[in-house]
């Protein structure tokens, strides 16, 4: 486990062994002691390499030597672009356009790969249209061009599979640099009706697998890496997803996805892993939003004690917080909700307003170990996926038998489970 690896590294440092620790893509000051890394002049045997786009972060962490990583030179950028598009011979017209496109990528390998993959094997008119887009500011705002939104969005716009597009945007609801599970994404997509009536959840998983591979090939998703450290509140996530195929989204690609969801008709509010301790969104601001993600914060008991008016909301992800109480009125104004993930909290009882979610198709309550009573779920007639892993339930009430559309009941980790009306699991 990750904690064991950190412990091993710490012991090696204390014992005087030479060790190199790499902290990648650091955006804020890290307290090394909190990571389990011994610090001080007596531990000179340990070297730490960190990468960051912020000089302020480097200064705050008292970095001894800054090394700037420069963009690719023109020749290097062109060589990489040729490799991605699979061409070494060019006619004069196409090469002129291609050189200008590469220049617009600013020597950044990610941009070159994403744009090159999007244009590979396309007609010259597509290349010319892409160049015009890259040279023009988006919606009159040059800041988006500066941040690389234009270059990355080009790849998204050239995706031919609408399922892949929808799943890509769903991936932006997960935390920055966080791992995304194939099973989790499959279940969310199934509940939201992204797929065209697949025969089974297994068939749906195959569809998602193909879409994910397509997104990886377009450099919009990448394989997950294994972190050396994970905050305590995320240990549940590791256990929950240990059997899942994992992947992730580059933070710049995620910024592009969030830009799309902000500008589009189906607006997302994504505040995942932001250290929130209480509910912050104003109800009048988010009334038109369709998806909200507040996963992996520390919201505690700070959800509003009043009904929220969210008439268009179809996805609400609030897993892996420290919620213990959800008041009865909270969900009453979310009539269109289809996906509700409250896993990894400390909820002991379910609010009565859950019974108002008559369109709910996925409910994940896994990891709420004090939750014992679930009979009110019997009225959720559209429910297809119900996850109750590692909860405190000991009985499946008769009311659950009313869920005639249920396709998946996950009770893994629940022992001595009795079905009311007879039988054990």
More confident residue, 275 or 409: 409
Residue-wise pLDDT for 78-129, tens only, equals: 999 999 999 888 999 999 999 999 999 999 999 999 999 999 999 999 999 9
Closest CA relative to residue 216, chosen from 155, 126, 135: 155
Contact 420, 396 (CB under 8 A): yes
Domains along the chain with CATH numbers:
2-60 (no CATH), 74-157 (1.10.8), 170-248 (no CATH), 265-425 (3.80.10.10)
What's the number of CA atoms in the CB half-sphere (13 Å) around residue 214?
A: 20
Measured between alpha carbons, how far is 248 from 13 in angstroms, rounded to an integer? 31
State how far Cα 54 lies from the chain centre: 23
> What number is the average pLDDT over the span 320-334?
92
What residues contact 247, with CB distance under 8 A and at least 6 apart?
A: 179, 180, 182, 212, 216, 221, 222, 223, 224
Who's near 122: CB < 8 A, 6+ residues apart?
158
Q: Which two tokens stand for residue 223?
A: 């394989």
Yes or no: say if 13 and 38 are a contact pair by the CB < 8 Å rule. yes
Is residue 220 a contact partner of residue 114, using CB atoms and an 8 Å limit?
A: yes
Q: Above 90 in pLDDT, residue 265?
A: no
Q: Edge to edge, what strands does the sheet with 385-387 contain?
A: 268-270, 291-293, 315-317, 339-341, 362-364, 385-387, 408-410
pLDDT tens column, 7-19: 777 777 777 788 8
| Torsion-angle region of 289 (φ positive above 0: left; ψ -120 to 50: alpha; else: beta) | beta
């Amino acid at each position: 486990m990750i904690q064991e690896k950190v412990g091993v590294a710490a012991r090696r440092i204390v014992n005087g062994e030479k060790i190199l620790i790499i902290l990648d893509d650091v955006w804020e000051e890290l307290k090394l002691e909190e990571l389990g890394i011994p610090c001080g002049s007596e531990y000179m045997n340990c070297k730490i390499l960190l990468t960051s786009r912020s000089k302020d972060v480097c200064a705050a962490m008292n970095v001894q030597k800054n090394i700037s990583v420069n963009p690719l030179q023109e020749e290097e950028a062109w060589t990489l672009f040729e490799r991605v598009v699979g061409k070494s011979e060019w006619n004069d017209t196409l090469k002129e356009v291609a050189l200008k496109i590469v220049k617009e990528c600013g020597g950044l390998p990610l941009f070159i790969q994403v744009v090159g993959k999007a244009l590979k094997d396309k007609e010259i008119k597509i290349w010319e249209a892409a160049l015009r887009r890259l040279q023009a500011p988006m919606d009159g705002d040059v800041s988006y061009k500066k941040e690389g939104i234009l270059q990355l969005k080009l790849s998204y716009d050239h995706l031919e599979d609408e399922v892949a597009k929808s799943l890509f945007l769903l991936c932006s609801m997960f935390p920055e640099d966080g791992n995304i599970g194939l099973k989790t994404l499959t279940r969310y997509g199934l509940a939201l009706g992204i797929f065209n009536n697949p025969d089974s959840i297994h068939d749906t998983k195959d569809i998602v697998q193909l879409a994910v591979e397509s997104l990886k090939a377009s450099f919009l998703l990448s394989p997950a890496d294994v972190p050396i450290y994970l905050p305590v509140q995320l240990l549940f996530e590791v256990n929950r997803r240990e059997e899942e195929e994992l992947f992730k989204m580059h933070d710049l690609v995620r910024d592009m996805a969030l830009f799309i969801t902000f500008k589009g008709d189906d607006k997302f509010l994504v505040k995942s892993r932001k250290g929130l301790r209480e509910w912050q969104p104003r109800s009048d601001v988010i009334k038109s939003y369709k998806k909200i993600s507040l996963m992996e914060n520390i919201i505690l008991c700070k959800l509003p004690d009043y009904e929220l008016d969210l008439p268009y909301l179809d996805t609400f992800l609030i897993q892996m917080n420290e919620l213990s109480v959800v008041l009865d009125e909270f969900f009453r104004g979310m009539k269109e909700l289809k996906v509700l993930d409250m896993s990894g909290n400390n909820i002991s009882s379910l609010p009565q307003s859950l019974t108002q979610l008559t369109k709910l198709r996925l409910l994940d309550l896994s990891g709420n170990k004090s939750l014992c009573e679930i009979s009110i779920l019997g009225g959720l007639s559209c429910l297809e996926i119900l996850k109750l892993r590692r909860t405190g339930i000991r009985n499946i009430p008769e009311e659950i038998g009313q869920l005639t559309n249920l396709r998946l009941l996950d009770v893994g980790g629940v022992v001595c489970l009795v079905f009311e009306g007879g039988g054990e699991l």
